[in-house]
Structure 1
Amino acid sequence: MKNASHLLHNGNVIKNVSVGSYLKIAKGFAELIGKIESEFIQEDKLNLSSNYSNSKNRIKRILVVTLVGFINSENNQKEFKQGLKELPLIENECYLLNEDEFELIHKFAKDTEDAIQIGTLLNETSVPIKLGVDRLFASHIGIFGNTGSGKSYSLAKIYHELFNKYKKEAKFRENAKFVLIDFNGEYVNPKTDDGKYNKIILEEEFKDEFILGNKKSKFPISKESIESVEILSILLDATEKTQKPFLDSVFNYNIFKNENFNFKNFIKEEIIEILIFKKDKNLGVRVLFELFKDINDCFEQGSNIYEEIRKFIGKEIDFRTDEGKFYLKKGMLGRANKSTSTDNKGYTEENLDFYFKVPFFELIDKIEFQQNELFFIKLKIVLKYYKDYVSGNLNAEFIGPLKSRTIKIFRQLFYLIEISNNTSNSSKNTTIISLKNITDQSIKKVLPLVICKEFYDSHKKKNNKSKYLNIIIDEVHNILSKNSIRESETWKDYRLETFEEIIKEGRKFGVFLTIASQRPSDISDTIISQLHNYFLHRLINNKDIEAIGRTVSYLDKVSFESLSILPQGACILAGLSADLPVVIKVDKIDDDYKPYNETIQLTQHWNDE
């Protein structure tokens, strides 16, 4: 009957009933807990006003309550349990919760569990919210909220508290692995005004950082991953019917699999095929130029081999239209110690082969290939293209664009990744990968997929139950968008299958996913619905709110309806780690550890003072 937010009871301040708060229903010795979902008033019109001492008494306050659990008493220990044990009876009395009961409902970690504190209740800042480490981190986590609502801060807070608790434990560093994909550079260490580095989540001594796109930092990827036809098809935007089968033929080509394979000899054989056996002027001259132009473009720093070959072809090789043969110009004859007729018409294919090798192949032998696996992968694709083209087994109109994209994209990859036989050779168990400086949007979307699959497959192969892997992706809508029209269906399908496998099957192998996004409506319902714990910040867009309501089963009506009015820094915690949804205020992080994502203060840069 009291219309005040708090009441004094036996010297204690207790919270009064209101929408979103709780009350206790006494049924004999059972103590049932209900959450108030709504309230309204109703005037009593059946009785005359003379029956009331005050006209205000004619107004009845009606509360709509949903049962959420009960207080279980065993061995003189009280514990809140979620779910229904009994239903109340008519005229069962309702009580406000005392301080101990209120804290008991919001105690989500047992005394025997390892726990970390995330924040406090938004409306009762004296009540801390602690979550059990096992129930929170052995689960898939979703953090959603509009830009500026605090989702990146929450992500940083959650993992900062975890690392702070365990970072010095040897078993933690040995058995746990964390990989954070950072699209906007919010979690890497920019220099402060005094020349020092911010720590951001974790000190540098405990983590590896890769700031990709600055031409200094390269991420190690296994050769097996980058030579995967599925990955290459997505990376090179290969068509399903023609270009993907060609890529498959490249890496299943037996000659390339030979341990003694020699790239220079292969090039020489192709030249002989073009100039001696094909006898096609249009094919020969043009393809020779293109072949060496593409070989030259395979080099990251450029090469002068193309110019030397071009000068040689222009000066010392000609074509006899009447015979349909290539031949060396007269000035070349003295370079070979072999007598032969100077009559060009008397040249045989064997003569031409002999004289041709002396000057031309010397130039080829001078080529110094880069000792880089990415270079050789690219070179294999280029050489197989010309091998099939010259032999007539390939339509240049269909495969030519793929060859050109290969050269272009691999030139960019050279500064982003490196092929390594041991991709996990690091004493640090936390890896932060910043993609902020990558300018090519297609690579910026595909590379996280390659990295995530690399870690997942590697962890899965080990099949060690004591090992733990947590893949953390901020701004995950960049790679899990289901509405983007810029990517091929192949890319969308493969990406979705990869992450759905992680989220459905990863738990069996100790692999868990943490995703943060400002657009939950843009992400597959399958992925969102498979998450175990949610931190839901303010959402304004109706489609985003609908997506949460459609896929998150842990929310009650009150929590769902408050999504659009949450203040900055507050979020709804719902899922397996919390017995019931609660609105919490995330605790502050020390300035050295918070993410680098604050909104610019315009007046600081606009005022002269």
Structure 2
Amino acid sequence: MTLGFVIGESKPTVVTGQTSRSLPIGEYVIINSKEGKIVGLVEKSVVSSAALGDVKNYDETLESIEVAALNKRDKSHTAMIRILGFLESLQKGKAILPAIPPTPGTEIVKATKDDLGQIFGPENEEWIKIGGLLRNPEIDSLINLNKIVSRHLGILAMTGMGKSNLVTLLAKQIAELDGTVIIFDYHNDYSGLDFPKMNVIDAKINPRLLEADTLSDVLEIREGADIQQRVLRLAFTPEVKESANFWEALDSQVQYIGANPDRKEDRHSADRVQDKIDDARHRSSEILDPDMSNPVALIKEGRLNILNVSEFTDRQANVALAYYLQELLADRKAAVNAKGGKTKSKRSYRFNTPIFVIIEEAHVFIPKNEDAKAKYWAAKIAREGRKFGLGLCIVSQRPRDIEANVLSQMGSLAVMKIVQEDDQRQIASAAESISREFIGQLTSLNIGDAVLVGQWVNLPAIVHIDEMKGKKIGSDQDAVGEWAVAKKFEEVGAKSMKDLTRKDF
């Protein structure tokens, strides 16, 4: 079915179409050029009226509406169409752009299911379905799992737009393929899921395994407290690390340093460090465990592992994430090098197959213009992880606050509704395949809609993500409902108390 024709100046990458109707953003079209069929994506759609283009007042507007209704040529429908490549090459998984732009007057037709089905639904085992094309819901949208594990993924959206749903969908499908997934669950959103092959872990930190400056973060010693940090560094000796009673040994060593008559100025700082140690022993005993084995040993291969870090402070969670990332990267390096015979090291490894790590609230752990231990290891995995089978997924509602060097290394992106212009600019910088015009449409997406770009899809696409059935995750609290239930309990309790009082008399 003919939709319109190419008009005006055309380029090998973009054309303008004059169409018979308004084309929705995200619709795919076929441009019947002389060189072959070309697939295009509508990125901008404009409707104009000759009669209503320059009205000056209300009465003139009413008159112009009547004139426009009588003139079938009054309305003009134009669309900016991004050229994605020749149809035949795209169906084979390759994007080849035309060397010569389509000639003005070239026919534009609607893309059919036969045209697009093979592009968006390759029949290979590494491709999994996550939804359907928003403008062509009869066409499934599949993504390439190998590409997100090797080239990483970013999931970016405002709160409540469906990030957690997409994370759950991906994690569940990877686990069903016997893959290993680890979600760092910052708000304890995922532990209530009821899926096979799930392993829920309350993350812990073994302080014996840390460096002194990292232990300082765990104990919440403030960054500017140089003397307290020096006291802790001197006290955190190899003998303390190996002591049977870790906290007692560390406390005694700090007390000993504070009692040094040659450094009386250390006494007060040592007392403050002892207070921090006491807090850690009693208030944080559930997350700081010097008697546990390596925390990484709790992660199970071939499972969806939920690491709950909701009980940690931000600094403690940062330390925990950094530790896990460091250990996972070292483990995968050891595994790959051992299998390839590239090392003489006898270091053992736990994981025989690739791992996909998902970091919720990534802006907290990978902040722009701030030093953070987790950011260092996340950046290192973003650079090196693909060689060792360690994939990274960063999830955030504030892309503007994520370190740009890390975000730019996410080879694929799922972008849902984003309103803030700073966030849109950050996304545009990270994803060259998204035009400014396309970025501007992110404000109009609904819950569950997403723009998919990068190596995990054959073409940029606007899709509607399948909704995961079962427990709602990352959802808003039903405050009104909970208040109503509480009120009913209060009324029942008051009535029961009144009845008991009557019986007593």
TM-score range, shorter chain: 0.7 to 0.9
C-alpha distance in 1 between matches for 2:116 and 2:483:
46
Match of 1:521 among 400, 425, 448: 400
- Conservation of the 8 A alpha-carbon contact between 1:144 and 1:519: yes
Provide Cα deviations, 1:253-292, integer angstroms capped at 9, x if missing partner: 6x658x8xxx8xxxxxxxxxxxxxxxxxxxxxxxxxxxxx
Task: Please state if 1:82 is matched with 2:85.
Answer: no
C-alpha distance in 2 between matches for 1:95 and 1:471:
43
**TM-score, normalized by length of structure 2?**
0.74
Question: Partner of 1:546 in structure 2?
Answer: 425
Task: Please state if 1:107 is matched with 2:98.
Answer: no
- Give aligned-pair identity as a percent: 19
Task: Please state if 1:586 is matched with 2:465.
Answer: yes
Match of 1:209 among 195, 200, 208: 200
1:186 Cα deviation from its structure 2 partner: 1.2
Match of 1:450 among 293, 305, 323: 323
Task: Please state if 1:151 is matched with 2:163.
Answer: yes
Structure 2 unaligned segments of length 5 or more: list them: 5-20, 52-69, 340-351, 489-505
- Conservation of the 8 A alpha-carbon contact between 1:520 and 1:544: yes
C-alpha distance in 1 between matches for 2:131 and 2:463:
6
Provide Cα deviations, 1:179-208, integer angstroms capped at 9, x if missing partner: 21112221112xxxxxxxx50xx22xx232
1:576 Cα deviation from its structure 2 partner: 0.9
C-alpha distance in 1 between matches for 2:212 and 2:183:
26
For residue 416 of structure 1, give the secondary structure of its aligned residue in structure 2: coil
Aligned pairs for 1:228-377 (under 5 A) are: 228-236=211-219, 237=221, 239=224, 241-252=226-237, 375-376=245-246
Question: Partner of 2:434 in structure 1?
Answer: 555
C-alpha distance in 1 between matches for 2:225 and 2:386:
32
- Conservation of the 8 A alpha-carbon contact between 2:189 and 2:474: yes
Match of 1:183 among 164, 183, 186: 186
**TM-score, normalized by length of structure 1?**
0.62
C-alpha distance in 2 between matches for 1:403 and 1:220:
19
Aligned pairs for 1:384-533 (under 5 A) are: 384-392=253-261, 394=263, 395-418=266-289, 419-422=291-294, 423-424=296-297, 429-438=303-312, 440-464=313-337, 467-482=353-368, 492-533=371-412
1:560 Cα deviation from its structure 2 partner: 0.8
Deviates more, 1:598-607 or 1:450-459: 598-607
1:396 Cα deviation from its structure 2 partner: 2.0
- Conservation of the 8 A alpha-carbon contact between 2:155 and 2:415: yes
C-alpha distance in 2 between matches for 1:162 and 1:399:
49
Superposed CA RMSD in Å reads 3.6
Change (3 A) 1:479 1:63: closer
Structure 1 unaligned segments of length 5 or more: list them: 5-14, 45-53, 167-171, 190-197, 213-218, 264-370, 484-488
How many residues are paired up?
433
Match of 2:446 among 567, 584, 603: 567
For residue 151 of structure 2, give the secondary structure of its aligned residue in structure 1: coil
**AA of the residue aligned to 1:544:** D
Change (3 A) 1:133 1:399: same
Aligned pairs for 1:47-58 (under 5 A) are: 56-57=72-73
Question: Partner of 1:360 in structure 2?
Answer: none
1:602 Cα deviation from its structure 2 partner: 2.7
- Conservation of the 8 A alpha-carbon contact between 2:142 and 2:457: no
Question: Partner of 2:56 in structure 1?
Answer: none
Deviates more, 1:536-545 or 1:237-246: 237-246
C-alpha distance in 2 between matches for 1:443 and 1:181:
13
1:230 Cα deviation from its structure 2 partner: 3.5
Question: Partner of 1:117 in structure 2?
Answer: 129
